[in-house]
Structure 1
Amino acid sequence: MADCGCEPPPLDTLEQHRALKVALWLNAAMFVVEVSAGLFAHSTGLLADGLDMLSDAFVYAIALLAISRSARFKANAAGWSGIMLLILGIGLLIEVIRRAANGTSPEAGWMLGVAAVALIVNIVVLRLLSRQRASGDEVHLRAAWIFTRADVVANAAVIASALAILATGLRYFDLIVGAAIGAYVIREAFEIMKDARDAKASLA
């Protein structure tokens, strides 16, 4: 009955599913926490980081759909992830410009505490995805890993800006970090789209 279609999924597929599902729910929860805190604390950096978490949640959802699908589907999923990230990065830069014109000084204590929690969450997710990426290095998993790597950098930047604001009282550190996260997100988007193009080219 080897061809009955009732065999359980391969172990590596189940592990990928578990890792991506955990990543999805953690990022969805942190999106709510960071955006709420960003609005409350008037922090561009926290708001940017929270929106990045939402984008990541969508990416993990796409990666979940890609498991056990064809290589072309996985490449297309990665490509759409990159496009989503590019749109997010451009939107973040626009928000930074808007807040620079009429924003208020952020609450650095809130920034520091929430960004520290987000950093811990993303380190956990990065470790989960690193094991899956090492086992197969499929393009959809690499896209998810790149997203999470960008998050760790963004979290560290928000923490650094919060410390700078506490030391100086200048709100511009928050704006600078928000703009830097936007620019970094755009760079990561192009990297993901390039990986997707290369993967599709190898299938031609």
Structure 2
Amino acid sequence: MSHGHGHGISPAEAATSNSGKHVNKLWIAAGLGLVTFVLQVTVGFFTSSLALLSDSAHVFTDIFGIFMALAAILVAQRAARRPDRTFGMYRTEVFAALANAILLFAVAGWVLYEAASRFSDPPEVPGLPVAIVAVVGLAMNVIAFLMLRSGAKESINIRGAYLEVMADMIGSIGVLVSGLVTLAFGWRYADPVIGVAIGLFVLPRAFNLGRHAVRILLQQAPDRIDVTSILEKINTLPGVVDAHDLHVWTLTSGMEVASVHVTAASDADPTTVLAATQTLLAEVFELEHATVQVELQGSDGKCTELAW
């Protein structure tokens, strides 16, 4: 019976390359968010603008989410290597992303509730200060959005912060439109209408982020992986009789892991079968960290099939 696993990027390197390299950008984005938040809350209370206050709530979750993302990265990078932490602390990034999704849901719900209550008697909101603050907030969000865009493709943790910044950017555009419409036409419904639009924009994005995080926490196979196809292709390799007990899961963004048992023909070379299986997983399915156990057909070392 032969064992082996292919190694691509190491867990420590994965954390550094996927999330850790964006730490400075996250700090800058958090600073920009703080400036925007203070400005929007101050002007929002003085003008009674729901659009501004709802956008400031988004900015708050943005800042909070970024700090959670930073904390998750730092914990993952600095967690002491202990025998019982066989995968380190990288899963904290996924918990941070899930928390961000929950926050986005809560804020969107509050905005929709508050907007609905204002439709019966919308307050008079001055358009000029709202528009000015919206321009400032939009500029801050655009800078943060551009900084985090590349990291969102590599890390679910960064993606959570990125989505919140994107929502804030769209919110700033909405607030700007609200301010300009109020300033030009004096239409009092512009503010609650924009508030509803912002809430509806955020909800599906929060759902997708939360769904992806839950899939990882439940150790489901990544969306891109066809588990049946993996088994079929392993079974076509020379010397392979059967592939079974296949598991594919995501530890955190950029760290996909697999394990599989392969039964080789009694006259096959286990080392050759092992190498072929590892090559297939790495080159065809991009599963570079895969543990493969090879068992000879008819040998006493064949694994016991588990009921679960």
Query: Offset at 1:65?
Result: 1.0
- Specify which structure has the higher proportion of helix: 1
Structure 2 partner of 1:194? 211
For residue 203 of structure 1, the aligned residue among 220, 244, 250 is 250
Query: Matches of residues 82-101 of structure 1 in structure 2 within 5 Å?
Result: 82-101=101-120
For residue 117 of structure 1, the aligned residue among 104, 129, 136 is 136
Report Cα offsets for 1:126-146 as digits up to 9, x if no partner. Answer: 111113335xx1110111111
Structure 1 partner of 2:196? 179
Report Cα offsets for 1:88-117 as digits up to 9, x if no partner. Answer: 111111221233344421110011100000
Using the aligned pairs only, state the percent identity.
Answer: 27
Structure 2 partner of 1:59? 65
The answer as to whether partners of 2:50 and 2:192 remain within 8 angstroms in 1 is yes
| Farther-moved stretch of structure 1 (168-177 vs 96-105) | 96-105
Whose relative contact order is higher, 1 or 2, with alpha carbons under 8 Å and at least 6 apart? Answer: 1
Equivalent AA in structure 1 for residue 180 of structure 2 = L
Hey, what's the Cα distance between the residues in 2 that align with 1:10 and 1:93?
Answer: 39
1:14/1:194 Cα in 2 relative to 1: closer, same or farther (>3 Å)? closer
Structure 2 unaligned runs (5+)?
1-14, 77-88, 221-248, 252-308
Structure 1 partner of 2:25? 19
Structure 2 partner of 1:126? 145
Question: What secondary structure sits across from 1:67 in the alignment?
Answer: helix
Structure 1 partner of 2:172? 155
Report Cα offsets for 1:67-107 as digits up to 9, x if no partner. Answer: 15244211111011101111111111122123334442111
Bigger radius of gyration, 1 or 2?
Answer: 2
Equivalent AA in structure 2 for residue 64 of structure 1 = L
Hey, what's the Cα distance between the residues in 1 that align with 2:188 and 2:122?
Answer: 9
Structure 1 unaligned runs (5+)?
1-8
Q: When the two structures are aligned, how many residues end up with a matched partner?
A: 194
- Specify which structure has the higher proportion of strand: 2
Query: Matches of residues 10-49 of structure 1 in structure 2 within 5 Å?
Result: 15-49=21-55
Hey, what's the Cα distance between the residues in 2 that align with 1:67 and 1:187?
Answer: 26
Query: Offset at 1:10?
Result: 5.1
**What value does the CA root-mean-square deviation take over the aligned residues?**
2.0
Report Cα offsets for 1:8-44 as digits up to 9, x if no partner. Answer: x958765411111111122122111101111111211
The answer as to whether partners of 2:37 and 2:59 remain within 8 angstroms in 1 is yes
Task: Give the TM-score, by structure 2 length.
Answer: 0.59
Question: What secondary structure sits across from 1:106 in the alignment?
Answer: coil
Task: Give the TM-score, by structure 1 length.
Answer: 0.87
Structure 2 partner of 1:3? none
The answer as to whether partners of 1:44 and 1:174 remain within 8 angstroms in 2 is yes
